[in-house]
Amino acid sequence: MVVLLAGAAYAAYAGASLYVHLHHGGDGLVSAQAKLSAGLRTGTPEMIRGAQSDLAGAGHDFAAAYGSARDDPAFSLLDGLPATGGQVEASLHLAAIGEDLTRAGQAVAQISLEIVNLKQAYASRSLTPDDLEALLQKAEELTRLYGASARLIADDLRAAHEERSQVVTANLVPPLKSAYDRVDEALSRADQAFVRFQDVRLLLSQLLGVSIPG
């Protein structure tokens, strides 16, 4: 009896720790997205770096959650029970979604930082023909940089959607369903941001207030 009680107590502790990681990861994603948006809008590198820090923390939380749900003996036991097995599997899917979104977010944050630094360098003064030529060259560099990572970002988002399609949240326990709601919000915002970043030249033109030919 004592052993059973101890096992149940440990399983409860492990479950609570798992949900904390998942919630913190989801909060980190949403916070990072808000900072990325604000940083691009205001041209503030510090906001972008704050987003990068949030993404690093979220990545740690999701990796910890995935490792725990996959390797912890308590979850191996729960996974074999009809009442709880689905919760463990859903936790694994959610952690995987979070890791996919974190990788995509880090790539977007890097290009965002480059764009904001460029905006700071040029947006505060009248542009000469030489400035415009240098700006065009930099836009070409950023387009190549983003183009090289765009396929990877698309792959991460596609993987996140595939993971998400395997889970129905109606029967999840409230803490896990709440974590899914948070990550669903982040996934929707990531899709919207990816569409916006499809044309880096257009984005630069909008942020700098100048026409950058394609």
pLDDT at 157: 96
Termini Cα distance of the chain? 73
pTM of the model: 0.83
d(CA 179, CA 11) in angstroms, rounded, equals 19
Across the chain, mean pLDDT equals 82
d(CA 196, CA 155) in angstroms, rounded, equals 17
4 C-beta neighbours (distance < 10 Å), count: 8
70-84 pLDDT, tens digit per residue, is 776 666 555 544 555
- How many domains is the chain partitioned into structurally? 1
**Average pLDDT estimate for 76-95:** 70
Q: Lowest mean pLDDT: which of 18-22, 157-161, 201-205? A: 201-205
CATH code for the domain of 32 = 1.20.58
pLDDT at 99: 97
50-69 pLDDT, tens digit per residue, is 999 999 999 999 999 998 87
Residue 61 lies in a domain: yes
d(CA 61, CA 68) in angstroms, rounded, equals 10
Residue 53 lies in a domain: yes
d(CA 180, CA 177) in angstroms, rounded, equals 5
